[in-house]
Amino acid sequence: MKILVTGGAGYIGGTVAQLLAERGHKALIFDNLSHGRRDLLPPGVEFVEGELADRGAIENIFIAAKKQGRPFDGVLHFAALIEAGESMLRPEVFFRNNTASTLSLLEAILAHGPRRLVFSSTAAVYGEPEAIPIEEDARLLPTNAYGESKLLVEHMLGWLNRIHGLRYASLRYFNVAGAPEGPNGITRGEAHEPESHLIPLVLDVALGRRQSIKIFGDDYPTPDGTCIRDYIHVSDLADAHLLALEALEGAAACNARLIFNLGNGQGFSVREVIESARRVTGHPIPAEVHPRRPGDPAVLVASSEKAIRELGWKPKYTQLDEIIRTAWIWHRKRYVR
Ligand SMILES: NC(=O)c1ccc[n+]([C@@H]2O[C@H](COP(=O)([O-])OP(=O)(O)OC[C@H]3O[C@@H](n4cnc5c(N)ncnc54)[C@H](O)[C@@H]3O)[C@@H](O)[C@H]2O)c1
């Protein structure tokens, strides 16, 4: 396959682009490097620096590939701003970058691109769930502007599928974590700037880069009062993307519109994550409690039964300690010289 990977200079897109290359596919990464890193681009993968909102730039990529007789087979769309907390301060930036700019990409796809797209959606589209584990047909009511910016894209995709036959898979990731163990060991991992995700922040404390970890709220209706989340290893997530592309390819998938949750099906509280990191790193990792943040649901745990059943997806990293072990190897490589 030949695949355009938007946001491939980032954590997840780069991991998937690397997996595509390892499996003998051709990937082209398109990223504005606003949050991605040139030094983390997977080796041997073509890179074009560009802005998602620049419809012409994306169309040119599709047109040039057609002229060379090797058109794209699909698009994996990762490019987005991802910080839910930030989205509650500057929602307009998220609607511009994640929603409006995605429309430019979709227009370019309709004009000259392949009719196959995999979209990085998020558990944040559900908001405060009515039932756990969350299934794909659960109520969609985001509690933060980030989730809404992604849900609006899902709505656009639904209409483009209905009217133009755009085949797409919307993959609703839960909390992605860990580092991929490739043929050369662990060479990449989570590197958000600024970092807002719990596991790298906890590992920062273990490395002495932070004094303590902040727990936002210990008065949630959960057994230890802290928020519960579902952590999925980035390599398991990457596998699901290849399976989704295959599912969209089949003749039976004509006009396909696929929606899958991707999680571990197990929830871990913030305190349990800190405990796991203490076991893995051997560091005491001091924690301090702060007030709740606006827009944080108490519990988000996925049912991934549909992806397991319909895509044949088999997540390998089911233990939190294992996920944190891979993240810890990467974190030390990144910061300890
Ligand atoms: N990390 C998670 O736990 C998680 C959970 C749910 C969903 N997601 C989704 O997965 C996708 C990838 O997340 P990530 O953790 O790899 O984030 P990331 O910040 O590491 O990667 C995103 C990439 O998109 C690029 N980008 C952003 N806006 C762009 C634009 N307008 N034009 C071109 N490039 C642009 C950034 O430079 C960056 O390289 C995002 O769509 C995110 O919403 C992530």
State residue 193's pLDDT score. Answer: 84
Residue 92 Cα to ligand 1 middle (Å): 17
Which residues make beta-bridge pairs with 28?
Answer: 4, 46
Span from the CA of 82 to the centroid of ligand 1 (angstroms): 6
pLDDT at 252: 59
**180 close to ligand 1 (CB < 6 Angstrom):** no
59 is written with which tokens? Answer: 């169309």
For the chain, percent of residues with pLDDT exceeding 70: 99
Say how far apart CA 156 and CA 81 lie, in whole Å.
18
Average pLDDT over residues 251-276: 90
Q: What is the dihedral of CA 121, 126, 128, 132, to 10 degrees?
A: -100
pLDDT tens digits, 126-185: 998 999 999 999 999 999 999 999 999 999 999 999 999 999 999 999 999 999 998 889
> Which tops the pLDDT comparison, 97 or 44?
97
Amino acid at site 304: S
Kindly report the protein residue whose alpha carbon is nearest to atom 42 of ligand 1: 82
Query: Strand 257-262 to strand 46-49: parallel, antiparallel, or no bridges (unpaired)?
Result: unpaired
The closest-lying atom of ligand 1 relative to the alpha carbon of residue 173 is: 6
pLDDT digits (tens, 9 = 90+) for 194-241: 888 999 999 999 999 999 999 999 999 999 999 999 999 999 999 999
* Residue 218 contacts residue 292 (beta carbons within 8 Å): no
Average pLDDT over residues 262-273: 96
Output the pLDDT for position 192: 85
Distances (CA, A) of 156 to 119, 163, 217: 12, 11, 35
The verdict on the CB of residue 31 being under 6 Å from ligand 1 is yes
> Is the confidence at residue 337, as pLDDT, over 90?
no
Residue entry with tokens 């008065």? 219
Q: What's the CA-to-centroid distance between 226 and ligand 1, angstroms?
A: 26
pLDDT for 271: 98
CB 230 near ligand 1, within 6 Å: no
| Residue 245, ligand 1, Cβ within 6 A | no
Instruction: With a cut of 90, say whether residue 254 has pLDDT above it.
Output: no
Residue 15 Cα to ligand 1 middle (Å): 12
The whole-chain average pLDDT of the chain stands at 95
Question: Does residue 96 surpass a pLDDT of 90?
Answer: yes
- Our answer to whether residue 146 is catalytic in this structure is yes
**Across residues 66-71, what is the average pLDDT?**
97
Cβ–Cβ under 8 Å, residues 29 and 12: no
User: Residue 51 has what pLDDT?
Assistant: 98
pLDDT at 118 over 90: yes
Whether 251 shows a pLDDT value over 60: the answer reads: no
| Beta strands 228-229; 257-262: pairing state | unpaired
pLDDT at 72 over 70: yes
- 336: pLDDT strictly greater than 60: yes
Residue 253 has a pLDDT of 61
What pLDDT band is residue 255 in, cutting at 50, 70 and 90?
Answer: confident
Write down the pLDDT at residue 196: 87
Q: Is the CB of 234 under 6 A from ligand 1?
A: no
Contacts 24+ apart (CB under 8 A), 275-280: 276/320, 276/321, 276/324, 277/199, 277/202, 277/203, 277/206, 277/324, 277/328, 279/321, 280/321, 280/324, 280/325, 280/328
| Catalytic-role residue among 126, 146, 168, 220 | 146
How much of the chain is helix, strand and coil, in % rounded to 5? 40, 20, 40
Answer yes or no: is pLDDT of 59 > 80: yes
- Residue to mutate (ligand 1; options 15, 19, 29, 34; most atoms within 8 A of CB): 34
pTM of the model: 0.96
Residue 30 has φ and ψ, to the nearest 5°, of -120, 120
